[in-house]
Structure 1
Amino acid sequence: MQDSMEAGVAVVERDNQGSCAILRLNRPEVLNALNAEVLHALGEALDAVAKDEAVRALIVTGAGPKAFCAGADIKEFLAQSPIAMKERSELGQSTFAKLGRLRIPSIAAMNGFAFGGGFELALACTFRVALATAKMGLPEVKLGLLPGFGGTQRLPRLIGEARALELIMSGRFIDAAEADKFGLINRVVSDDVVAAAVAFAGEFTGFSLSSQSLARAAVERGASVALDEGLRIEAELFGLVASTDDAAEGCAAFVEKRAAVFKDR
């Protein structure tokens, strides 16, 4: 890895090829728990990644051998007013929403426990790669709370309402194998989850970011509307992507039987 772009609780590095940014939560002594400082630092790191035109994918992971992210720092919840708790929820939601607004795809490299807000962080990523030993879940019900960083909205969209409600209302943890069965995980690996995530990113980083970002938009915008409206969105975005230089290059390369050279325009 190259030297980190910034030090602290959210560290951004590059893989050896330079095409992936690796954002590492850096509080291993508390299992990378999310306090207000971490959320602000995470947001700033995501802003920096968004401005880096050389990056083709983002890997999000945790420091240390035990945890991706063990969730919110519960000590900060003590004696908080309902208004303060609502603001904390909004801070987590707005920070994680930056992942969806990135032009590049993001991959959660789940190197260990991913509980509560940590699981919600993984759910906010485009894809998830997990160690076989990783465990994940939303245990907020055990504290008399509910998920507040997007879990009640993203989990049902990924695995369906019935399974999502089961996990949310029981607070139980699942392992990577069960998460894979639910369709939550894209790859389950036995070691070096970050390297596996970088390799997974390599399956699509060579293609046009223009077509990829518009494809993601078509799926995301269509997920909450009727089929006819979704098809209208798809046609609109298909017409838009067809106007790009990359579409012209890709079609020409196919006809000329050569490799396309995309420039993300």
Structure 2
Amino acid sequence: MRSRPDRRALVITSAGTKAFSAGADIDGLAGRGLVDELDGTLKGQRVFDRLSRLRQPLIAYVNGYALGGGCELALACTFRVAAPRARLGLSEVKLGLVPGYGGTQRLIGTGRALDLMLSDDMLGPEDALAMGLINRMIPEDEGLDGALAYAARFADKSPVAMSLIRESVRQGMDLPLNNGLVIEAQNSVLSYRTADGQEGLNAFLAKRSPQFKDE
């Protein structure tokens, strides 16, 4: 995706219909030492962080079980859409383990995140949607086409503007409100100076659709 800036959005899903991702290989985990386990967890965090920072929106189509690390993979995406058969959960506590890739509390708040991590509950798409864990349910008859249609909503938007918006939100989450507003103001002013920003303004005045070039 970094080498293909012409791609405006990406959908990831599984090849089958039983699971989006059921998490780690338990047999493999059982034989790992502490050093290997820490190294593997830190590598996983770096991978998920890179996914979350992709310039283009990344959409997870959860079409089955998304458990443990599989759920956290979905959380690393910009958006999550789910089929009716989807089930999401952080099941590590059932094995006496701790989720290691993060992201839950940022999406649904500390209280709900703790409830999900400590209870081992699996959420269906209705509950996940109400909680803010997913963005949309995709009807069974739409399947992957429905997820692609969700992603297509971003195809005609300015990649520059979308990137600046996401960066404002990402940085603002870790800062006091006043500091976050400064970053938002800076990125807003910067957007006016981009070619896409000028194209958007000119297109509006000319009553035509803008042609954004990611500049």
Same fold, TM-score > 0.5, yes or no: yes
Out of 116, 139, 155, which is 2:104 matched to?
A: 155
Q: Between the two structures, name the one with larger relative contact order (CA 8 Å, sep ≥ 6).
A: 2
Aligned counterpart in structure 1 of residue 17 of structure 2, from 65, 74, 84: 65
2:165 aligned with 1:165? no
* TM-aligned CA deviation for residue 190 of structure 1: 2.2
TM, length-normalised to structure 1: 0.79
Unaligned regions of 5+ residues in structure 1, if any? 1-48
**From 175, 197, 219, the counterpart of 2:124:** 175
How far apart are 1:102 and its partner, in Å? 1.1
Q: How does 1:47-66 map to 2 (within 5 A)?
A: 49-66=1-18
SS of alignment partner, residue 68 of structure 1: strand
Q: 2:61 aligns with which of 109, 117, 129?
A: 109
Count of residues in Structure 1 that have an aligned counterpart in Structure 2 = 214
Cα distance between partner residues in 2 of 1:54 and 1:218 = 22
How many Å separate the matches in 2 of 1:101 and 1:51?
14
Q: CA deviation at 1:53?
A: 2.4
- CA distance in structure 1 between the partners assigned to 2:97 and 2:2 by the alignment: 33
Distance, in Å, in 2 between the alignment partners of 1:124 and 1:85 is: 20
Alignment gaps of 5+ in structure 2? none
How far did 1:114 drift?
0.2
Pick from 126, 136, 146 the counterpart of residue 187 of structure 1: 136
Query: How far off its partner does 1:256 sit?
Result: 1.1
- Once the 2 structures are TM-superposed, how far is the Cα of residue 92 of structure 1 from its aligned partner? 1.1
* Counterpart-to-counterpart distance in 1, 2:156 and 2:136: 19
- 1:76 maps to 2:25: no
Q: Matched residue of 2:40: which SS?
A: helix
Deviation at 1:57, TM superposition (A): 0.5
Q: SS at 1:71's partner residue?
A: coil
Name the CA distance, whole Å, in 2 between partners of 1:194 and 1:97. Answer: 25
CA distance in structure 1 between the aligned counterparts of 2:178 and 2:114, rounded to whole angstroms: 28
Instruction: Tell me which amino acid in the other structure corresponds to 2:190.
Output: L
Indicate whether 1:144 and 2:96 are aligned.
yes
Per the normalisation by structure 2, the TM-score is: 0.96
Letter in 2 for 1:86: L
Name the SS of the counterpart of 1:77 in structure 2. Answer: helix
2:82 to 126, 130, 134: 130
Identity %: 45
Contact 2:139–2:146, Cα closer than 8 Å, also in 1: no
Partner of 1:199: 149
Aligned 1:21-100 pairs, distance under 5 A: 49-100=1-52
Question: Of residues 214, 219, 227 in structure 1, which corresponds to 2:164?
Answer: 214
Deviation (angstroms), 1:239: 1.5
Matched, 1:254 2:179: no
Q: CA deviation at 1:146?
A: 0.5
Kindly indicate whether the alpha-carbon contact (under 8 Å) linking 1:116 and 1:138 is maintained by their aligned counterparts in 2.
Answer: yes
CA separation in 1, counterparts of 2:104 and 2:144?
23
Conserved in 2, the CA contact under 8 Å of 1:130 and 1:193? no
Aligned AA (2:194): T
Letter in 2 for 1:258: R
Query: Aligned partners of 1:231, 1:54: CA distance in 2, in Å?
Result: 30
The structure with more strand, counted as a fraction of residues: 1
Deviation at 1:193, TM superposition (A): 3.2
Aligned amino acid, residue 75 of structure 1:
D
What displacement does 1:101 show?
2.1
Deviation at 1:66, TM superposition (A): 0.5
